[in-house]
Structure 1
């Protein structure tokens, strides 16, 4: 079994996340994509992040009809900060025969040396980076080579057709009472309206 992990704050979950999931699923020939909403992300001021269970339920509803997608609540239910190496250890423990692919943006690769227990992360999964606008290919390749040489592990780069959507852009549009229906799944828009989020 080959499963891809897409983690994130998902505040809110949007069509760009689905786009990455579909593309990674096909390009990596995966059996499943697992979305893992963060609980308390250590790199953000979590006091300004929407409640974890609200974000979890947004993702759960948005992927409810996707047979190749699933969601995991480990980080949402976990006490304290959410660290990638701990999540990967947990996943390997409950599914020891699964080959895990950790899928993230190029910004994660650039900042990877700032993460906790990088060597452990690279031991527990295949680290897959999708390219985003705003980063030079030269800079990305240089960082990729540096990480591979430092940890003696391979980093996988994949090119995806770009959808330049961000959660912060969506929040800003909602705050300014602008339409976001073309950027997010219908169920996410319903939750945002019912719970009066991002106003």
Structure 2
């Protein structure tokens, strides 16, 4: 059976930490492909200043252009309405019925998943995979994981992988301060940011 994962995120911008997580998931879960899914209009970030979806998509596209096991989808950014994870999963599971689907996201999303629309449907449509992030203890993550598993009768995979201390928030902050960020992301992404003057 083909095994594919959707890696959801704002990717504003994509950086080496995202690529590190994707590779760890690829090998640990024995996946055939990971599809990066830049969020379109996520309901939990409506009041935040997010870079135009097409630019975030282009940055992901150029970051993974030489990676055979990675792909990027514009499904969510092409939606006119709010982007809900359950709709994205419905679309892809219907598109490839024989594929085993995974959904990769950070533990912060696990902590908030009960506030997501159609939580149980999400967990029924895929194997939900979360990676650790700074600021969350493994004990609290595992406690929440067990709680959701019991409530929704579905298994959740926790990827306890070494973290690269890189975040999109800090990258945007560094750029605004005039600091170098070329060591934090692929060169092609840096080029787009510099050419368009993003995050200044």
- The answer to whether TM tops 0.5 is yes
Secondary structure at the aligned position of 1:143 is classed as helix
1:121 aligns with 122
- Cα deviations by residue, 1:87-140 (Å, 9 ceiling, x for unpaired): 000001111111111111111111110111001000100011112232122211
* Paired residues for 1:117-196 under 5 Å: 117-196=118-197
What is the match of residue 112 of structure 1? 113
Q: Distance in 1 between matches of 2:162 and 2:143?
A: 22
- 1:23-172 matches, within 5 Å, as 23-45=24-46, 48-172=49-173
What TM-score, normalized by structure 1, do the two folds share? 0.97
- Structure 2: 5+ residue stretches without partners: none
Query: Is residue 14 of structure 2 the alignment partner of residue 13 of structure 1?
Result: yes
1:191 match: secondary structure: helix
Gaps of 5+ in 1: none
Please give the alpha-carbon distance, in whole angstroms, between the structure 1 residues aligned to 2:69 and 2:116.
29
Deviation at 1:46, TM superposition (A): 5.8
- Measured after TM superposition, the shift of residue 5 of structure 1 is 1.2
> d(CA) in 1 for partners of 2:11 and 2:132?
19
Residue 158 (structure 1) shift? 1.4
1:40/1:46 contact within 8 Å kept: no
Secondary structure (helix, strand or coil) at the match of 1:19 reads helix
Counterpart CA distance in 1 for 2:30 and 2:48 is: 38
Q: Distance in 2 between matches of 1:119 and 1:48?
A: 30
The whole-number CA distance in structure 2 between the counterparts of 1:180 and 1:194 is 14
Go from structure 1 to structure 2 and tell me whether the alpha carbon gap of 1:189 and 1:55 turns closer, same or farther (over 3 Å shift). same
Shift of 1:50: 0.6
Equivalent residue pairs, number? 199
In the alignment, the residues of structure 1 paired with residue 23 and residue 149 of structure 2 have an alpha-carbon distance, to the nearest angstrom, of: 27
| Alpha-carbon distance in structure 2 between the residues aligned to 1:102 and 1:46 | 25
Q: Provide the rounded CA distance (Å) in 2 between the counterparts of 1:56 and 1:142.
A: 34
